[in-house]
Amino acid sequence: MENRNSHVDSESFRAVLGNYPTGVAVVTGLDPAGEPIGMVVGTFTSVSLEPPLVAFLPMKSSRTFNQLRAASDRFCINILGADQEAICRTLASYGENKFASVPWHASPEGNPIIDGVVAWIDCEYANVVDGGDHYIVLGAVKTMGLERDISPLLFFQRGYGRFSTSSLVLASEREVLQHVRLAELAREEIEAVARELQVGCSVVAAAGSDSIYVAVADHSPEQRGKNRLGVRAPMVPPLGTLFIDEPNTISEEAWLARLGKNGAEAAVRAQKQLERVRQRGWSIALLGDMSAHELEEAVELYSCPHRTPEQERRFLDTVSKMFDQHEPVHIEKTKNYDVLHLSVPVQRSTGETVLVLRLSELPKSLQGVEVDRYLERLQAAAAQVESLL
Ligand SMILES: Cc1cc2nc3c(=O)[nH]c(=O)nc-3n(C[C@H](O)[C@H](O)[C@H](O)COP(=O)(O)O)c2cc1C
């Protein structure tokens, strides 16, 4: 509060406000000769939904802004993607013909949309308000569109970066490496099981609030499971049951909380599934109506280190459709099952789960007695790995 009425010098103004991250947008338009012009802004923001208004703050002295304003009553906001830092640097530089190396196409209003942006918003000037050495430009939104399903470029403390979801931030690389080393102890066993049963057999570890495939063997006919190394899935019900409440992972409470505000009914089902898994000491997921391909795609998307929160939500939607395929109450000996995977814990003598062994790529329509047989083999493998810990 000390500085309330004191003079604020530009250095400390920048030093303090540089701690607030922004997105990066390019305001574009055409000059009177029909050539594209544009300026980079970190001050783009949405303002109002009813009516739809957005804003950005150009320096009063900006040549480009004054050109844009003189040329047309329309402009287009381009939200740059995380891989467009070079374009940002080109357009933010001083000089002529900055657009010469930047590919673009026309928006419905005729303004430049830079190829590969995340989204664009065509606007009409609604108001230009005084804001000290800047203007506050209010734009009335005319049309808008999404171009690419990727993370936006971010700007923070004069550096560029991209967004990471918190689950990725939590699981440190070191932690994952420790699991990879531990998984090597299981290498021979998973190879033997995969060869013997002609299936995929993997080691899965907990990494923060995700589980991650840290070793994979696959002797199934198509060997699709081989691509699974490094693949992640979030520990959100019904996934991750064997890891809940184990050291260095998440608690049951946190696991259930990940279902969100409307998850009360699902939480009851999840608790029952968790109880069943704890009693049995193993976990099973059936394929149900979902195609293996659809599921693989969703998991691939989640495993991308640059996934967006929206992509994460899409993955969770896919998972929630499969809720009731997890941990069925009975596996009847004479009935047939399409098993997605079968998992057992690898535990230290203290009872703490350190890894999970998982069978996948099992034959379709497996009889219940066969499921039992596969499970027994997997449990024997886990016991063998436990003896090596
Ligand atoms: C990440 C980033 C954010 C910027 N944000 C703004 C902004 O919000 N307003 C602004 O006037 N200039 C901003 N600039 C500076 C302009 O992009 C541009 O460099 C400057 O306006 C060039 O001056 P000119 O328009 O006179 O050529 C930003 C630059 C960068 C790199």
Amino acid making up residue 359: L
On whether residue 120 sits in a domain, the answer given is yes
On whether residue 9 sits in a domain, the answer given is no
CA distance 164 to 298: 18
The answer to whether residue 71 scores a pLDDT higher than 90 is yes
| HEC string for the chain | CCCCCCCCCHHHHHHHHCCCCEECEEEEEECCCCCEEEEEECCCEEEECCCCEEEECCECCCHHHHHHHHHCCEEEEEECECCCHHHHHHHHCCCCCHHHHCCEEECCCCCEEECCCCEEEEEEEEEEEEECCEEEEEEEEEEEEECCCCCEEEEECCEEEECCCHHHHHCCHHHHHHHHHHHHCCHHHHHHHHHHHCCEEEEEEEECCEEEEEEEEECCCCCHHHHHCCCEEECCCCCCHHHCCCCCCCCHHHHHHCCCCCCHHHHHHHHHHHHHHHHHCCEEEECCCCCHHHHHHHHHHHHCCCCCHHHHHHHHHHHHHCHHHECCCCCCCCCEECEEEEEEEEECCCCCEEEEEEEECCCCCEEHHHHHHHHHHHHHHHHHHHHHC
Question: Could you read off the pLDDT of 113-137 as tens digits, one per residue?
Answer: 999 999 999 999 999 999 999 999 9
Task: Report the percentage of the chain scoring pLDDT > 90.
Answer: 69
Judge if 374 and 328 occupy the same domain. Answer: yes
What's the CATH code of the domain at 265? 3.30.450.40
Residue 127 is part of which domain span? 14-163
Mean pLDDT of 347-359: 95
pLDDT category at 3 given cuts 50, 70, 90 is very low
Judge if 134 and 243 occupy the same domain. Answer: no
On whether residue 122 sits in a domain, the answer given is yes
Task: Report CA-CA distances (Å) from 296 to 31, 277, 305.
Answer: 48, 24, 16
Determine the pLDDT at residue 171: 58
Q: Name the more confident of 74 and 310.
A: 74
CA of 41 to the centre of ligand 1 (A): 5
Mean pLDDT of 7-13: 88
**73-77, 175-179, 272-276 — which is least confidently predicted?**
175-179
Q: What residue's CA is closest to ligand 1, atom 9?
A: 58
Judge if 191 and 278 occupy the same domain. Answer: yes
The answer to whether residue 5 scores a pLDDT higher than 80 is no
CA of 103 to the centre of ligand 1 (A): 20
CA of 57 to the centre of ligand 1 (A): 9
| Domain end residue (candidates: 163, 188, 211) | 163
Judge if 78 and 225 occupy the same domain. Answer: no
The answer to whether residue 95 scores a pLDDT higher than 90 is no
Determine the pLDDT at residue 2: 44
On whether residue 8 sits in a domain, the answer given is no
On whether residue 186 sits in a domain, the answer given is yes
Judge if 147 and 295 occupy the same domain. Answer: no
**Ligand 1, CB within 6 Å, residue ranges:** 24, 39-43, 57-59, 62-65, 92, 94, 155
Peptide bond into 51 cis (omega under 30): yes
What's the CATH code of the domain at 115? 2.30.110.10
The answer to whether residue 206 scores a pLDDT higher than 50 is yes
CA of 38 to the centre of ligand 1 (A): 10
Q: Ligand 1 pocket test: which of 40, 133, 135 has the largest number of ligand atoms within 8 Å of its C-beta? A: 40
Judge if 156 and 237 occupy the same domain. Answer: no
Highest mean pLDDT among 91-105, 141-155, 240-254: 141-155
On whether residue 130 sits in a domain, the answer given is yes
Tally Cβ neighbours within 10 Å of residue 15.
Answer: 11
The answer to whether residue 306 scores a pLDDT higher than 50 is yes
On whether residue 3 sits in a domain, the answer given is no
Question: Could you read off the pLDDT of 211-230 as tens digits, one per residue?
Answer: 999 999 999 998 877 788 98
Judge if 37 and 138 occupy the same domain. Answer: yes
Judge if 269 and 149 occupy the same domain. Answer: no
Judge if 212 and 90 occupy the same domain. Answer: no
Determine the pLDDT at residue 166: 66
| Domain end residue (candidates: 128, 163, 198) | 163
Judge if 186 and 333 occupy the same domain. Answer: yes
Q: Name the more confident of 303 and 171.
A: 303
| Domain end residue (candidates: 116, 139, 163) | 163
Q: What residue's CA is closest to ligand 1, atom 18?
A: 92
Q: What residue's CA is closest to ligand 1, atom 14?
A: 41
Task: Report the percentage of the chain scoring pLDDT > 70.
Answer: 96
Q: How many domains does the chain have?
A: 2
How is residue 118 written in tokens? 């995340």
Judge if 236 and 321 occupy the same domain. Answer: yes
Mean pLDDT of 285-294: 85
Judge if 183 and 248 occupy the same domain. Answer: yes
pLDDT category at 1 given cuts 50, 70, 90 is very low
Mean pLDDT of 128-155: 96
CA of 115 to the centre of ligand 1 (A): 20
